[in-house]
């Protein structure tokens, strides 16, 4: 649901080739990826000769009507997208998958991530006469693809991809093929699966579980996979390979049952909680996790420390975003509606609260205040990630510097601000140690360290991009 702490995933994608129930499976898969974007959703399908699409605003169930779904039902090839819209971009024209028509054929496009040179390319293309229909960075790819002089569809896709910088997991549909590509840093996840002999791809493996597909493997940085009726072709669009998967996918964004390299996010979060215990020397009576994304880390902390884990905070799952508007006061009201302490669990206790991240500090401040009111004797905050100090240019809306509390304040000052008795963050080193244990080849940690693995050419945050594109 709508996130109140200032961390928002940008998108989720899905694609399937050659299954009689492709569009229904896509709908179900998108449903399980809904946590990655709630502002809009859509599908593009192929009958082998033409592409057809439907998209709409809001949650999947609102975005696609029954009539639209019925009209897409009989097609064996489908792609889908759920979108989180950044400031200024919450409009239908930006909802994906995009569907482009030309005399060369149709093109369906779904993108997860953010390009860091799209504005530069767009300006150059506009100067040459190109007209853009959306303010989305993803449309740049369609123009580059259409203009490529390379021989053959795959060569044209490769040449367009090579001009892009930034984070992308692309799902590209032509009438007769489905092509997927991941940037050479592998910032955004994309997984390969199979169901009834048909291949499928998804941002997270929870989509495979929802449709009963087999999870085959993670798609590698720089990889290019093409599916046609003749089978599947594994290739690369670049020889460069510098893995930098987004750390926040493990910490917060991905669903707990989603797997990376065969390990669930739940297990990785539990290990982060265990690692935090090594850095947090505090005595307490109970450990509580902030529901839902921090419950696994709280379990890991509890296992390592021997301090019992209790459900001291409950989450109201039915808080719609209708009531939540921007602004500090509204945000505080939203947290109050969303989280409440269980009084007899925390009353008179020394409590360790485990949260996966702190962005603005609004949620933490509310939690501490509410737990004190419920009678907690001491409140020690443990964060199973390092301090977030920098915005993200690669497809996550982590707010701007001005809103990120740790960009200006030390942990001691933050502790003071949120009113806790102590505050401990996981160190960057231990975080990477945990990832290495689970087979990681390298993670992006730029929002913690400021070391951006991909040069930021446009110097524009994703949430500012739409405004800039419109010349605001």
Catalytic residue IDs? 11
> Does residue 121 belong to the site contacting ligand SF4 (CB under 6 A)?
no
Cβ partners under 8 Å of residue 239, min gap 6:
222
Of 164, 140, 122, give the one whose Cα is nearest residue 468. Answer: 122
Tell me how far, at minimum, the Cβ of 449 lies from ligand SF4, in Å: 9
276, 370, 371, 447: residue in contact with ligand SF4 (rule CB under 6 A): 447
Give the DSSP letter of residue 115. Answer: B
75, 77, 266, 394: residue in contact with ligand SF4 (rule CB under 6 A): 394
Q: Rounded to an integer, what distance in angstroms lies between the CA atom of residue 269 and that of residue 251? A: 6
To the question of whether residue 447 is assigned a binding role by annotation, the answer is yes
25, 246, 268, 286: residue in contact with ligand SF4 (rule CB under 6 A): 246
> Where does residue 362 rank: exposed (0-12), middle (13-18), buried (19+ CB within 10 A)?
buried
373/436 with CB nearer ligand SF4: 436
To the question of whether residue 246 is assigned a binding role by annotation, the answer is yes
> Does residue 368 belong to the site contacting ligand SF4 (CB under 6 A)?
no
> What b/e readout covers 338-360, taking b as 16+ CB neighbours within 10 angstroms?
bbebeeebbeebbbbbbbbbbbb
Tell me how far, at minimum, the Cβ of 397 lies from ligand SF4, in Å: 9
> Does residue 169 belong to the site contacting ligand SF4 (CB under 6 A)?
no
> Does residue 198 belong to the site contacting ligand SF4 (CB under 6 A)?
no
To the question of whether residue 355 is assigned a binding role by annotation, the answer is yes
Tell me how far, at minimum, the Cβ of 444 lies from ligand SF4, in Å: 3
Q: Rounded to an integer, what distance in angstroms lies between the CA atom of residue 69 and that of residue 66? A: 5
397, 445, 458, 466: residue in contact with ligand SF4 (rule CB under 6 A): 445
Helix axes 411-418, 362-373, angle to 10 degrees: 50
SS (H, E, C) 406-460: HHCCCHHHHHHHHCCCEEEECCHHHHHHHHHHCCCCCEECHHHHCCCCCCCCCCC
> Does residue 247 belong to the site contacting ligand SF4 (CB under 6 A)?
yes
> Does residue 115 belong to the site contacting ligand SF4 (CB under 6 A)?
no
Q: Which residues are annotated as a binding site for [4Fe-4S] cluster?
A: 246, 392, 444, 447
Query: Residues comprising the binding site for Mg(2+)?
Result: 293, 355-356
Site residues, ligand SF4 (CB under 6 A): 187, 246-248, 392, 394, 396, 398, 444-447
């Amino acid at each position: 649901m709508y996130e109140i702490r200032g961390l928002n995933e940008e998108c989720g994608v899905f694609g399937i080739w050659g299954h009689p129930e492709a569009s229904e499976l896509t709908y179900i898969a998108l449903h399980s990826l809904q946590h990655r974007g709630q502002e809009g959703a859509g599908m593009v399908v192929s009958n082998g000769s033409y592409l057809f699409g439907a998209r709409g605003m809001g949650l999947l169930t609102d975005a696609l009507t029954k009539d639209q779904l019925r009209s897409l039902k009989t097609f064996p090839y489908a792609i889908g997208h759920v979108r989180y819209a950044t400031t200024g971009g919450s409009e239908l024209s930006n909802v994906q998958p995009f569907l482009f028509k030309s005399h060369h054929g149709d093109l369906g496009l779904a993108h997860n991530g953010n390009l860091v040179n799209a504005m530069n390319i767009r300006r150059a293309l506009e100067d040459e006469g190109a007209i853009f229909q959306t303010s989305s960075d993803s449309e740049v790819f369609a123009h580059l693809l259409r203009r490529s002089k390379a021989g053959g569809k795959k060569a044209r896709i490769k040449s367009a991809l090579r001009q892009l910088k930034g984070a992308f997991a692309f799902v590209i549909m032509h009438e007769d093929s489905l092509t997927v590509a991941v940037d050479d840093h592998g910032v955004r996840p994309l997984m390969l699966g199979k169901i009834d002999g048909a291949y499928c791809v998804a941002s997270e493996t929870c989509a495979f579980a929802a449709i009963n597909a087999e999870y085959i493997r993670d798609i590698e940085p720089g990889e290019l996979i093409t599916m046609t009726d003749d089978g599947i072709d594994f290739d690369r669009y670049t020889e460069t390979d510098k893995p930098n998967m987004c750390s926040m996918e493990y910490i917060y964004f991905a669903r707990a049952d989603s797997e990376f390299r065969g390990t669930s996010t739940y297990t990785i979060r539990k290990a982060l909680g265990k690692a935090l215990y090594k850095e947090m020397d505090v005595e307490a009576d109970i450990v509580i996790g902030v529901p839902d994304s921090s419950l696994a880390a709280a379990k890991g902390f509890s296992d390592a420390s021997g301090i019992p884990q209790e459900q001291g905070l409950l989450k109201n799952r039915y808080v719609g975003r209708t009531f939540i508007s921007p602004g500090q006061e509204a945000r505080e009201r939203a947290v109050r509606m969303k989280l409440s302490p269980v009084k007899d669990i925390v009353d008179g206790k020394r409590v360790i609260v485990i949260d996966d991240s702190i962005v603005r500090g609004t949620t933490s401040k509310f939690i501490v205040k509410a737990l004190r009111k419920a009678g907690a004797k001491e409140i020690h905050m443990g964060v199973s990630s390092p301090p977030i100090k920098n915005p993200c240019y690669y497809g996550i809306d982590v707010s701007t510097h001005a809103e990120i509390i740790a960009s200006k304040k030390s942990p001691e000052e933050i502790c003071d601000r949120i009113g806790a008795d102590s505050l401990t963050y996981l160190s960057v080193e231990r975080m990477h140690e945990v990832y290495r244990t689970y087979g990681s080849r390298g993670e992006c940690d730029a929002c913690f360290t400021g070391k951006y693995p991909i040069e930021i050419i446009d110097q524009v945050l994703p949430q500012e991009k739409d405004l800039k594109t419109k010349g605001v």
